[in-house]
């Protein structure tokens, strides 16, 4: 594109950079030519109890099987904690910054070791065994990190559920992986507001029990001291239990392909999928990408603003950085509390060098005005990162010019829950930047752009993004449903992993992600299946049918637009609209709050009764001049009513 803005690598970025452009090109070529040799070498960046002799054993066809380092034995908790103790026992591992700006804690690697060992022993004491699923429903507090590491230490599989999800959503996730253990807190705290996590957990456990999954133990961390209900024999206090067990716990020797964690994510159909990641390949991949994408050097203070409930929190708050012996910052609060200066104040307070956040936050803070940024120093900053959704060039430029004062490279990192770690991103000392492009693939990643008919597009072009070759950090299966894994990711284009994203490759070989091409929407960086919102709506007794689409939203990236057809005899009203919004929040959580609800007497359908979403998207975008062919509709007149009553009139 002619209007693209290029920012060349500055001499200062190159000076101490780990990777320059020649190295990138050479390593990339090596990684593609001989993956066994390349990963055989880089697999040694983590410690192994028993070294691997096999590196790669993978197939993207047939039953799809992905194994890396399969005969090696290792442990994630050992690699992220124990192996650093000799050299950096007294170095701060995690800086915790509370919701309240006066709350902070610093935990050294020695202290982290003891906290994690105690937590692991608490889990063992209450019957958690290797391979068991443990659901973690926590606010952004240190104990969330201890709990995750404790699971990895004893070989239990954690399933972290974002604290913003509703009891119903939590129950579904407990049930799906048959998790008999839950770790939670009395309450969470965000922007001064209290989130009733234990109360939600109690409700979720009841729902899961009705569906046949019995939760046996709940470990409760005290965060706010709020009054909560207590089930004797089932609920235990973390602080009491942790004080009662030994401060040491031997890490379990895990096979490289033993499951590490499950993380539920939304797709275009059905319930959220339990994405399963395993041990060895995942840790090699996240530690390597953390080091090179953020040009991480010993001593850097690193801050990723994600929540541990999302994959970014797993890979780039905890596992990647701590595998590298970093100091990582964990933030309980939100970007605009108490004021829109919060991020920049935290950066100054803790001398943050590397800062990684989401476009939705960047857009919101840009909207709040430059003065909130300019009153802070930010002189410690060296690298800025972005993740979660496409970053529009205006937001990118603001991040670069105003936040980074033209001195810090912006690394726009494209990847997905399924990927484990970053797949496409610039390297600070190597890659010229273009605002809005995730630039080039990382080592071992072979992107392929495919058209609607499955033909590969070479060179410049636009289409659907696939990945042709396996990489060590990728998911291995959908928990409990390998067939769904094959169907979802490997059946659209045979032998290729299909990402669900659209993408353009420019003349320089740079990748520009254009957003999802399926029925997944991205609201403030949170991934949501439109089908999930639809099924929440039709679960309401006054709704007979619903269709949900995304529309462009200045701050959130996409907003949620719902077309709702009411049951016979029901009448549209403001009260019902509010009721439906509350209903969706209850079923899924606040992140799924509908932005617009349009009562529609009928939805546009083809003669084979398929809802024509293309038309609904256009109307939601207030772009009904270009509806395209409507002649295949069973009843073309429904469209007139939809246009007439559209909610996004300009
Ligand atoms: C890590 C994460 C994945 C979806 C992905 C894509 C979008 C993420 C992006 C991006 C453009 C980026 N996405 N990073 N789009 N540029 N740098 O966000 O995982 O929650 O699974 O979402 O997010 O659409 O397919 P996840």
**What is the SS3 assignment for 278-346?**
ECHHHHHHHHHHHHHHCCCCCCCEEEECCCCCCHHHHHHHHHHHHHCCCEEEEECCCCCCCCCCHHHHH
Is 390 a pocket residue for ligand 1 (Cβ < 6 Å)? yes
For the chain, give the number of residues: 650
Instruction: Tell me which residue has its CA closest to atom 22 in ligand 1.
Output: 416
Mutate to test the pocket of ligand 1, among 415, 500, 512 (most ligand atoms within 8 A of CB): 415
Q: Whose C-alpha lies nearest to ligand 1, atom 26? A: 416
Atom of ligand 1 nearest to the CA of 425: 17
pLDDT of residue 108: 98
Give the pLDDT of residue 635.
86
Which of 109, 65, 111 minimizes the C-alpha distance to 88? 109
CA gap 131, 151 in Å, rounded: 10
Query: What Å distances lie between residue 457 and 1, 50, 409, CA to CA?
Result: 17, 43, 30
| DSSP at 403 | I
Give dist(CA 595, CA 555) in Å, integer: 12
Distance 390 CA to ligand 1 centre (A): 7
202-215: pLDDT as tens digits = 999 999 999 999 99
Ligand 1 in reach of 359 Cβ (< 6 A): no
Q: What is the pLDDT of residue 1?
A: 47
Encoded tokens for 3: 């209007």
Verify whether ligand 1 is closer than 6 Å to residue 473 (CB atom).
no
What would be the CATH architecture of the domain defined by 6-504? 3-Layer(aba) Sandwich (3.40)
366 CA distance to ligand 1 middle (Å): 21
Q: Inform me whether the pLDDT recorded for 518 exceeds 60.
A: yes
CA distance 447 to 190: 39
Q: Using a 6 Å cutoff on CB, does residue 164 contact ligand 1?
A: no
Determine whether the shortest distance from the Cβ of 382 to ligand 1 is under 6 A: no
User: Locate tokens 């965060």: which residue?
Assistant: 223
What are the angstrom distances between the C-alpha of 586 and each of 166, 168, 498, 624? 6, 7, 32, 32
Model confidence pLDDT, tens digit, residues 577-588: 999 999 999 999
175 lines ligand 1 (CB under 6 A): no
224-261 pLDDT, tens per residue? 999 999 999 999 999 999 999 999 999 999 999 999 99
Please state the rounded mean pLDDT for residues 388-407.
96
Q: CB-based contacts of 347: which residues, under 8 Å, 6+ apart?
A: 303, 355, 376, 378, 380, 381
Beta pairing class for 461-467 and 447-450 = antiparallel
Give the phi and the psi of residue 65 in degrees, each rounded to 5. Answer: -135, 130
Reported pTM: 0.95
pLDDT at 3: 59
Average pLDDT over residues 456-485: 97
pLDDT at 650: 81
Lowest average pLDDT, out of 48-62, 206-220, 241-255, 602-616, goes to 602-616
Residue 417 CB less than 6 A away from ligand 1: yes
Give me ligand 1 centre to Cα 285, in Å: 17
Question: 536 CB contacts (<8 Å, ≥6 apart)?
Answer: 583, 584, 587, 588, 592
How many CB atoms sit inside 10 A of residue 170's CB? 26
Radius of gyration, alpha carbons of the chain: 24
Q: Please, what is the angle between helix 35-42 and helix 280-293, to 10°?
A: 80
Structure tokens that stand for 397 in this block: 């430029």
168 neighbors 90 (Cβ within 8 angstroms): no
Interatomic CA distance for residues 290 and 282, integer angstroms: 12
| Of 286, 389, 435, best ligand 1 pocket probe by most atoms within 8 Å of the beta carbon | 389
> Does residue 423 sit in helix, strand or coil?
coil
Q: Which CATH number fits domain 524-645: 3.40.50.300, 3.30.300.30, 3.40.50.1970, 3.40.605.10?
A: 3.30.300.30
Q: Where do the domains of the chain lie?
A: 6-504, 524-645
Residues 6+ apart with CB under 8 A from 33: none
Decide: 438 in ligand 1 pocket, CB within 6 A: yes
Question: How confident is the model over 271-295, as pLDDT tens digits?
Answer: 899 999 999 999 999 999 999 999 9
Q: Locate the DSSP E strands across 145-209.
A: 157-160, 181-185, 188-190, 193-195
Q: Label residue 626 by pLDDT band (50, 70, 90).
A: confident
Residue numbers in the known binding site are 190-193, 312, 336, 388-390, 412-417, 501, 516, 524, 527, 538, 540, 543, 585
Q: Percent helix, strand, coil in the chain (nearest 5)?
A: 35, 25, 40
Instruction: Give percent of the chain with pLDDT exceeding 90.
Output: 93
323 vs 315: CA distance, rounded Å: 10
Contact (CB, 8 A) for 160 and 312: no
Mean pLDDT of the chain: 96
Q: Please give the helix or strand (H or E) that residue 623 lies within, else none.
A: none
Least confident of 28-32, 75-79, 138-142, 642-646: 642-646
| Alpha carbon of 612 to ligand 1 centroid (Å) | 26
In Å, what is the CA distance from 495 to each residue of 267, 487, 556? 20, 12, 34
Q: Tokens 């993408």: give the residue.
A: 503
Distance 525 CA to ligand 1 centre (A): 7
pLDDT at 370 over 60: yes
pLDDT for residue 13: 98
Strands (E), 506-542: 511-516, 520-523, 526-529
Treating both helix axes as pointing N-terminal to C-terminal, what angle do 109-125 and 142-154 enclose, rounded to 10 degrees?
60
Note the pLDDT of residue 611. 86
Q: Whose CA is nearest to atom 4 of ligand 1?
A: 416
The Cα 123–Cα 129 span in angstroms is: 8
414 CA from centroid of ligand 1 (Å): 6
Find the helix packing angle between 35-42 and 21-33, rounded to 10°: 120
């Amino acid at each position: 594109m002619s209007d693209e803005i290029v920012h060349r690598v500055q001499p200062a970025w190159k000076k101490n950079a780990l990777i320059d452009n020649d190295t990138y090109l050479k390593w990339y070529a090596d990684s593609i030519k001989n993956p066994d040799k390349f990963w055989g070498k880089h697999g040694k960046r983590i410690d192994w109890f028993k070294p691997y002799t096999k590196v790669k054993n993978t197939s993207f066809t047939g039953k799809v099987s992905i194994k890396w380092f399969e005969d090696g034995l290792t442990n994630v908790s050992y690699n992220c904690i124990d192996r650093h103790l000799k050299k950096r026992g007294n170095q701060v591992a995690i800086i915790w910054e509370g919701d309240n700006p006066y709350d902070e804690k610093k935990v050294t690697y020695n202290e982290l070791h003891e906290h994690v060992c105690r937590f692991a022993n608490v889990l063992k004491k209450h019957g958690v065994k290797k391979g068991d699923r443990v659901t973690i429903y926590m606010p952004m507090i240190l104990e969330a990190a201890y709990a995750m590491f404790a699971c990895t230490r004893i070989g239990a599989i954690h399933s972290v559920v974002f604290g913003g999800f509703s009891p119903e959503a939590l129950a579904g996730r407990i049930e799906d992986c048959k998790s008999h253990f839950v770790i939670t807190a009395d309450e969470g705290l965000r922007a001064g507001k209290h989130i009733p996590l234990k109360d939600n957990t109690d409700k979720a456990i009841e729902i899961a029990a009705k569906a046949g999954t019995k939760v046996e133990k709940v470990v409760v961390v005290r965060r706010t001291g709020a009054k909560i209900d207590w089930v004797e024999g089932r609920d235990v206090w973390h602080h009491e239990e942790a004080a009662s067990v030994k401060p040491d716990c031997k890490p379990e020797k895990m096979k490289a392909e033993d499951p590490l964690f499950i993380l539920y994510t939304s797709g275009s159909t059905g319930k959220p999928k339990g994405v399963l990641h395993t041990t060895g390949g995942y840790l090699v991949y996240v530690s390597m990408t953390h080091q090179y994408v953020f040009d991480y050097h010993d001593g850097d203070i690193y801050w990723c603003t994600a929540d541990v409930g999302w994959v970014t929190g797993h890979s780039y708050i905890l596992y990647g950085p701590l595998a590298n012996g970093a100091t990582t910052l964990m933030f309980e609060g939100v970007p605009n509390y108490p004021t829109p200066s919060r991020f920049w104040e935290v950066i100054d307070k803790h001398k943050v060098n590397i800062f990684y956040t989401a476009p939705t936050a960047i857009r919101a803070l840009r909207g709040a005005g430059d003065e909130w940024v300019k009153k802070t120093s930010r002189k410690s900053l060296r690298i800025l990162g972005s993740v979660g959704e496409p970053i529009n060039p205006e937001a990118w430029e603001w991040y670069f010019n105003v936040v980074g004062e033209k001195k810090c490279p912006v690394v726009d990192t494209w990847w997905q829950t399924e990927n484990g770690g970053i797949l496409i991103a610039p390297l600070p000392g190597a890659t010229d930047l273009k605002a809005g492009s995730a630039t080039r693939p990382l080592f071992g990643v072979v992107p392929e752009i495919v058209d609607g008919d499955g033909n590969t597009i070479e060179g410049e072009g636009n289409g659907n993004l696939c990945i042709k070759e396996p990489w060590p950090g990728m998911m291995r299966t959908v928990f409990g449903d390998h067939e769904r894994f094959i169907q979802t990711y490997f059946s659209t284009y045979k032998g290729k992993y299909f990402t669900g994203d659209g993408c353009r490759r420019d003349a320089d070989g740079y990748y520009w992600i254009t957003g999802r091409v399926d029925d997944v929407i991205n609201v403030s960086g949170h991934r949501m299946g439109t089908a999930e919102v639809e099924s929440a709506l039709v679960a309401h007794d006054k709704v007979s049918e619903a269709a949900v689409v995304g529309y462009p939203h200045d701050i959130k990236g996409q907003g949620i637009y719902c077309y709702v057809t009411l049951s016979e005899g029901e009448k549209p009203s403001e009260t019902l609209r509010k009721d439906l919004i509350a209903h969706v929040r209850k079923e899924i959580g606040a992140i799924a709050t509908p932005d617009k609800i349009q009562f529609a007497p009928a939805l546009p359908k083809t003669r084979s009764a398929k809802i024509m979403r293309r038309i609904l998207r256009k109307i939601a975008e207030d772009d009904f001049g270009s509806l395209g062919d409507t002649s295949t509709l069973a009843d073309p007149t429904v469209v007139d009513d939809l246009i007439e009553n559209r909610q996004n009139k300009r």
